[in-house]
Structure 1
Amino acid sequence: MYYHEIISADDKQLPVKIIIHQGPDTNIPRHWHRSLELSFTLQGSIDDFFIGDRHYKTKAGDLLMINSDQIHSVTFPRKNRIEEKNQALTILFPYAFCLKYIPKFNYRTFAVQPTKEMKEAREIKRLQQLLTELFQIKINRTSLSELKEISIIFEVLYWLCLRASTTSSKKIHLNSQPSSFEKLDEILSYIQDNLKTNITLASVSDHFGFSYNYFSRFFKNNMGIDFSSYVNRSRTQEAFRSINENKFQTVKSISQKAGFSNQQSFIREFKNNYDITPGEYIKKLRRLS
């Protein structure tokens, strides 16, 4: 059983999620998410990075890409978790962000060549420099850190699209995944396209020809979250992005555009996800502008 992870952007104006790894290493069980993920090892190594159907061992300078919906995990031997001082950086590009900024995202596959095959290439060195700089910015904060982070994120994304991706004439389905994932991906795409409508468990199960009870079990078993909670969280993420794009909206209009029928439900969901109410977050952004 693999668990599904819902990726949200950082609780700032940053449109992606950045994770700094240093100190004691922790195993990450097999899971999947719809986001595009980039892993960069700065120091030490990752003993077993499983992606799809392959196992990788990284060293300092290595980069790995995890495509949308691809099953992956990280495993460290017990002794290495204590003895070796590792440093790594993970960037998660949320699915909606990828759809907005990456042309033909659902028809694109990403892969970074092993550095031993490209160690003399200026292009890979530039990407390593950008990610090292991003790592340092996350540790040593200044008043301009967020601005620089955004600049680096889009340069990294441009590099990946230009030099580390290929496109297909057909929508990408990764063969290493169970067949049920293809149907689930279709369902999630349908939900994403209809978030602003009165989408319900009954309407989606009917659209895909499932019984209500079967679809309810199928969704929760594969996503680790019930249908209503997933829809509300996805709508909240859309609202978060909408606020960052335009901080002069009202809470009511944001709630309605995100697909919430009840403003209080929206405020409660937003607070649960971001530890701040939408009204407070809007005021915060206005003060910073």
Structure 2
Amino acid sequence: MAGDKHELIQLDELPLHIKIHHHRNDSEVPAHWHQSIELSFTIRGQIDHFIIGGVDHQTHPGEILIVNTQIVHSVRNRIHTKDDLMLTLLFPYPLVLQVFPKIDQYFFELGSLSKLSLQQVAQYHHLQDLLTQITDIKLGKESDFKNIELTILSYQVLETLLKYFLKPRKNNSQLSHNLVITGHLRNALDYIQGHYQEPFSLQEIADSCHLARQYLQRIFRENMGCTLGEYIKNYRAQKAYQELTTTTNTFTAVAMNNGFSGVRSLNRAMVNNYGQTSRQIREGSSAPD
């Protein structure tokens, strides 16, 4: 995540990723997807926008979110304190398939506690305990047994998810449909990221994807949690922010380099996205003199 401090480890005996996030500033993970199963656990603080498949979640301490394979998700966090602490686990799909060969026929669902059965509520609390232990061990002192402890606990998390939080897919075409949709979205994102420095229309994006503009706009909004136009504005703002904080280019040059019509539109984007003007961002950064 941009603006946060985290560690990434890959266990030798288990291809599992564990991330610990200490948020310090505004942080953002752009919309993306992957084959892995992702689990997010908010320990302290909150995430004010965790968008999964177009649904916007605001987390609170103790909340667990899960992202199924090939589901678009993004994170935008502006409400933060120095004590914010989050955990992310990424279970590679081949691992899940190895231990549960029927996974293609199911998906994970962790709803709100009020919608869970009594058995699921008890297992939800069990998951919270396991994830808290993983966090404590990860943040604790090094030991010869650290990796095996993390491995065992991670397998217990996966076992609990598989036993108590699986739902059958309506049919196998559901997963195939997700793959088709993410393919269309990847094409649209590739076009935007390759042309953000120049003017272009939504129709040009749709034409590059060989899709009707209305259809592309609909699937983009449903899966990305924002409109095509909003994504373009946000992407240009992110690239401009990076340039403002890492170079001494003039504000006019930054605007032109990132698809803005001028300094006024650049400033408007900076205020909307970061709450500061270009000058305030530059003055508060460590850009080279």
- TM-score, with normalisation over the residues of structure 1? 0.54
- Runs of 4+ residues over 6 Å off in structure 1: none
Q: Deviations over 1:110-147 (max 9, x none)?
A: 01122455597322111100000000111113211111
- Measured on the aligned residues, the alpha-carbon RMSD in Å equals 3.0
Give the 3-state SS of the residue equivalent to 2:59 in structure 1.
Answer: strand
Give the 3-state SS of the residue equivalent to 2:129 in structure 1.
Answer: helix
Structure 2: how far apart are the matches of 1:47 and 1:160? 25
Distance 1:169 1:59, change over 3 A: closer
The equivalent of 2:71 in structure 1 is: 70
The equivalent of 2:126 in structure 1 is: 126
The equivalent of 2:16 in structure 1 is: 16
The equivalent of 2:165 in structure 1 is: 164
- Structure 1: state its 5+ residue gaps: 1-7, 185-213, 215-289
Distance 1:57 1:174, change over 3 A: farther
Distance 1:174 1:168, change over 3 A: closer
Give the deviation of 1:54 after TM superposition.
0.5
Distance 1:175 1:57, change over 3 A: farther
In structure 2, give the amino acid aligned to 1:53: G
- TM-score, with normalisation over the residues of structure 2? 0.54
- Structure 2: state its 5+ residue gaps: 1-7, 186-208, 210-289
Q: Is the 8 A contact 2:9 2:19 kept in 1?
A: no
Q: Is the 8 A contact 1:50 1:56 kept in 2?
A: yes
* Count, aligned residues: 176
In structure 1, give the amino acid aligned to 2:24: P
Structure 1: how far apart are the matches of 2:149 and 2:12? 13
Q: Deviations over 1:49-90 (max 9, x none)?
A: 00002000000000011000000000012xx34x45311111
The equivalent of 2:99 in structure 1 is: 101
Structure 1: how far apart are the matches of 2:15 and 2:49? 29
Give the 3-state SS of the residue equivalent to 2:174 in structure 1.
Answer: coil
Identical amino acids, percent of aligned pairs: 29
Give the deviation of 1:164 after TM superposition.
0.8
The equivalent of 1:33 in structure 2 is: 34
Q: Is the 8 A contact 1:9 1:94 kept in 2?
A: no
Give the deviation of 1:12 after TM superposition.
2.3
